[in-house]
Structure 1
Amino acid sequence: MSIVVTGANGHLGRHVIEQLLEKVPADQVTAVVRSAEKGAELAARGVKLAVADYNTPETFDSVFAAGDKVLLISGSEVGNDRPGQHTIVINAAKAAGVALLAYTSAPGTLSAALADDHRATEKVLLASGLPYVLLRNGWYHENYTENLAPTLEHNAVVAAAGEGRVSSASRADYAAAAVAVLTGEGHENQTYELGGDTAWSFAEYAAELSRQTGKEIAYNAVPGEALVGLLTGAGLPEPFAVILAGVDASIAKGELVVDSGDLSRLAGRPTTPLADAIAVALKG
Structure 2
Amino acid sequence: MTISERIAVTGATGQLGRLVIAELIKSVPTAHLIGLVRDAAAAKDLADRGVELRTANYEDPAAVKAALAGVDKVLLISSSEIGQRVRQHGHVIDAAKAAGAKLLAYTSILHADTSPLALAEEHRKTEALIRASGVPSVLLRNGWYTENYTGNVAAAVQHGAVLGSAGKGRISSAARADYAAAAAAVLASCESQAGKVYELAGDTAFTLADYAVEISRQSGKTVVYKDLPEADYKATLRSIGLPEAFAELYAESDAKAAKDALYDDSRQLSALIGHPTTPMAQSVAVALAR
Select 2:185's aligned residue among 173, 180, 184. Answer: 180
Aligned to 2:38: 34
What is the alpha-carbon distance in structure 1 between the residues aligned to residue 268 and residue 131 of structure 2? 21
What is the alpha-carbon distance in structure 1 between the residues aligned to residue 65 and residue 279 of structure 2? 41
Q: Kindly, what percent of the aligned residue pairs are identical?
A: 52
Aligned to 1:23: 27
What is the alpha-carbon distance in structure 2 between the residues aligned to residue 209 and residue 72 of structure 1? 34
Which residue identity does 1:152 align to in structure 2?
Answer: V
Which residue identity does 1:49 align to in structure 2?
Answer: L
Q: Which runs of 5+ in 1 are unaligned?
A: none
Aligned to 1:98: 101
Counterparts of residues 107-186 of structure 1 (less than 5 Å): 107-108=110-111, 109-184=114-189, 185-186=191-192
Aligned to 1:9: 13
Q: Which runs of 5+ in 2 are unaligned?
A: none
What is the alpha-carbon distance in structure 1 between the residues aligned to residue 22 and residue 211 of structure 2? 29
Query: Displacement of 1:66 after TM fit?
Result: 4.7
What is the alpha-carbon distance in structure 2 between the residues aligned to residue 152 and residue 177 of structure 1? 32
What is the alpha-carbon distance in structure 1 between the residues aligned to residue 123 and residue 60 of structure 2? 21
Query: Displacement of 1:67 after TM fit?
Result: 5.6
Matched position secondary structure for 1:166: coil
What is the alpha-carbon distance in structure 2 between the residues aligned to residue 33 and residue 244 of structure 1? 27
Which residue identity does 1:17 align to in structure 2?
Answer: I
What is the alpha-carbon distance in structure 2 between the residues aligned to residue 152 and residue 261 of structure 1? 31
Matched position secondary structure for 1:113: coil
Query: Displacement of 1:219 after TM fit?
Result: 0.6
Which residue identity does 1:29 align to in structure 2?
Answer: L
Aligned to 1:205: 211
What is the alpha-carbon distance in structure 2 between the residues aligned to residue 260 and residue 188 of structure 1? 20
Deviations 1:144-172 (A, max 9, x none): 11222321121001100111010000011
Aligned to 2:75: 71
TM-score, structure 2 length as denominator? 0.95
Partners of 1:131 and 1:189 within 8 A in 2: yes
Aligned to 1:60: 64
Counterparts of residues 235-254 of structure 1 (less than 5 Å): 235-254=241-260
CA RMSD of aligned residues (A): 1.0
Is 1:269 equivalent to 2:275 in the alignment?
yes
Moved more, 143-152 or 47-56: 143-152
TM-score, structure 1 length as denominator? 0.97
Query: Displacement of 1:186 after TM fit?
Result: 2.2
What is the alpha-carbon distance in structure 2 between the residues aligned to residue 38 and residue 111 of structure 1? 36
